[in-house]
Structure 1
Amino acid sequence: MKSRLLKNFIQEIQFKNRNPNETRVLALLDDISTNPERIFQQGEKLYRSRIILNEEEINKKTGFYGYDAEQSFIPPWRITRDLRANYRYIPYLYCSNHPYISLIEVRPRIGAKISIATILVNQNINLLDFTIQNKPTKMSETKYNLFVELSNLYSKPIANDDDTLDYIPTQFIAEYAKNLGYDGIAFTSSLAPEINNTNLERFNVVIFNYQKCSAIKSNVICLEANHSEFHQIDNDLDKLNTDCYVLEQLIAL
């Protein structure tokens, strides 16, 4: 870990003090003028995927070939568990800015069917951007290293048996960003590492103020062979672009 400030912050908040005295990390976030930010404009779209476990639960509403609007959005607070950006019982909207990234984030097995919801942004959303794809000119190297490390922590794959201790630092930072006035955060996908070597912007998003969004449709996708071979198998004539970013680049060439 390059950021010694973050390392010290994590050590304290995990093992010593949930209300940390080591606030230099937070002071860097407080400097809004050098925070990388990203705005999703009203009318833009995001994507949320869920593996279909029971096909009797899908294709219930017009326009929703997969899960319906309610099941395509945030989980009920009663079943919301600790995750990278949220505490238990506090649901946030986890999604991606591209269908392919959303699909691989749920790590489906070959033959799995996935419901991928299209999420409409109804009001402008301002994100604290840990992807560093648009680095502010006055951003210090110390702050840059901090954001890179935080993006790596947020993108770390989640397992059902993860110790919630690992979530404490990123949950705290997410809540801190929320209290700074951000609607959410953006971070890279560890399941698509080659993205950092492309010009395509593909990343994950967590929306705190999910009331600014709504699920408008869902489609059913099947993983037929590997992560580059997703195919839409519903009857919707409006097909999603589920090509991986590597294929997109080859097509562009």
Structure 2
Amino acid sequence: MSTTEMDDPGKSEFASYDSYREFAFRVRHQRRYVWDDHVKAFINTVLATLKDRDVTLRKGMVLFRAQSGIEYYSPGRNRPEEPSGYNATRMKPRPNRSTEGRANAAGVSVLYLGTTEQNVISEIRPWVGAEVSVAQFQLKRKLRALDLSRGHGQSSLNIVFGHLLNGTPVTAEQKEKAVWIAIDNAFSRPVTRSDDAADYVPTQILAEVFRNAGYDAIGYKSQFGEKGLNIVLFNPDDADVINCAPYEVTGMDVSFKEIGNRWYRAENRRQPAKSARKKVKKTPSSK
């Protein structure tokens, strides 16, 4: 899996179009907390190729967050209970008690938001008929964000496939584009409860690297909906809940694509032999 060639932050050049995958393998399965030279070189090359990815999130911008479940309250005596969205405290992450996520380790609280109601509801993978609380959050100050979404939906392999096929060199620009597509795809990949905690490590490390580089937030495309963008605030206190409403999921759109070659059952060309019974002329048995 590993190569001897290292990324070169001095030249702002990745050693391979596959540098992200090698980085991810190393921090998952070799050294997670004390990085080797390959991981350090990759991190520094990522920082050296951030150009033109800065985005400003304006003060007062409204974003969304969804949580499974709603509350019910009684508006008065002898009146039926009415549905309500969760309260403001319930809609924010618990300080120092967050579970593992793509952009945070367990115990490190960040705020996962989105730009549309559809994408934040879809991110929690509800079923039809599920009740969901959706809150609007308002940014309290101007934030510096890193846009990871460029090239979303593309395959990093497609960028260099022609060169690999023909045996021609891959340019530094193509390698850079392929690596950043791989980074966005890693953040965008939906989280499931069955995920191994090690699967989160590469993006958790990158999130901390971006935060340490002075970013207040990161944005990456949602896998649910073409227009949705996920926004992660590194400081949950940078946004306040301004309202919350109860929702019911009324339907789900499923899209899919074939990702491998279809197999076919081989036809058995030998026809099964027909069993034949020879007619035996019965003769009277001798007594």
What's the TM-score once normalised by structure 1's chain length? 0.75
- Counterpart of 2:136 in 1: which secondary structure? strand
What do you get for the CA RMSD once the two structures are aligned?
Answer: 2.6
Rounded Cα–Cα distance in structure 2 between residues aligned with 1:126 and 1:105: 24
CA 1:152–1:133: 2 relative to 1, 3 Å = closer
CA shift for structure 1 position 17: 1.3
Query: Identity of aligned pairs, percent?
Result: 23
Aligned partner of 1:55 in structure 2 is 71
2:31 to 7, 17, 35: 17
Give the residue type in structure 1 aligned to 2:224. L
CA shift for structure 1 position 33: 5.8
Give the residue type in structure 2 aligned to 1:67. Y
| Structure 1 residue 5 corresponds to structure 2 residue 19 | yes
2:133 to 115, 140, 147: 115
CA contact (8 A) 2:151 2:181 kept: no
Rounded Cα–Cα distance in structure 1 between residues aligned with 2:50 and 2:119: 30
CA shift for structure 1 position 147: 1.8
Give the residue type in structure 2 aligned to 1:68. N
2:103 to 85, 92, 97: 85
1:75 to 94, 108, 113: 94
1:152 to 158, 163, 185: 185
- Counterpart of 1:49 in 2: which secondary structure? strand
Give the residue type in structure 1 aligned to 2:182. E
Rounded Cα–Cα distance in structure 2 between residues aligned with 1:17 and 1:35: 31
Rounded Cα–Cα distance in structure 1 between residues aligned with 2:185 and 2:116: 19
Give the residue type in structure 2 aligned to 1:179. N
Aligned partner of 2:150 in structure 1 is 132
| Count of residues in Structure 1 that have an aligned counterpart in Structure 2 | 210
Q: Which runs of 5+ in 1 are unaligned?
A: 196-200, 229-253
Rounded Cα–Cα distance in structure 2 between residues aligned with 1:71 and 1:176: 29
Rounded Cα–Cα distance in structure 2 between residues aligned with 1:181 and 1:87: 19
CA shift for structure 1 position 87: 0.7
Give the residue type in structure 1 aligned to 2:48. D
- Counterpart of 1:46 in 2: which secondary structure? strand
Give the residue type in structure 1 aligned to 2:223. S
Rounded Cα–Cα distance in structure 1 between residues aligned with 2:28 and 2:179: 18
What's the TM-score once normalised by structure 2's chain length? 0.67
- Counterpart of 1:77 in 2: which secondary structure? coil
CA 1:188–1:27: 2 relative to 1, 3 Å = same
Post-superposition CA distance 1:178-199 (Å, at most 9, x none): 000101211111233xx2xxxx
CA contact (8 A) 1:129 1:186 kept: yes
2:248 to 193, 211, 222: 222
Give the residue type in structure 2 aligned to 1:34. K
Rounded Cα–Cα distance in structure 2 between residues aligned with 1:179 and 1:57: 43
| Structure 1 residue 213 corresponds to structure 2 residue 226 | no
Query: Quick check: which one's helix share is greater?
Result: 1
2:229 to 203, 212, 231: 203
| Structure 1 residue 100 corresponds to structure 2 residue 118 | yes
Aligned partner of 2:55 in structure 1 is 38
Rounded Cα–Cα distance in structure 1 between residues aligned with 2:224 and 2:42: 27
- Counterpart of 1:161 in 2: which secondary structure? coil
- Counterpart of 2:90 in 1: which secondary structure? helix
Post-superposition CA distance 1:129-178 (Å, at most 9, x none): 110179xxxx9333322221111111111111210110111100000000
Give the residue type in structure 2 aligned to 1:5. S
CA contact (8 A) 2:72 2:84 kept: no
Rounded Cα–Cα distance in structure 2 between residues aligned with 1:140 and 1:66: 47
CA 1:9–1:26: 2 relative to 1, 3 Å = same
CA contact (8 A) 1:5 1:24 kept: no
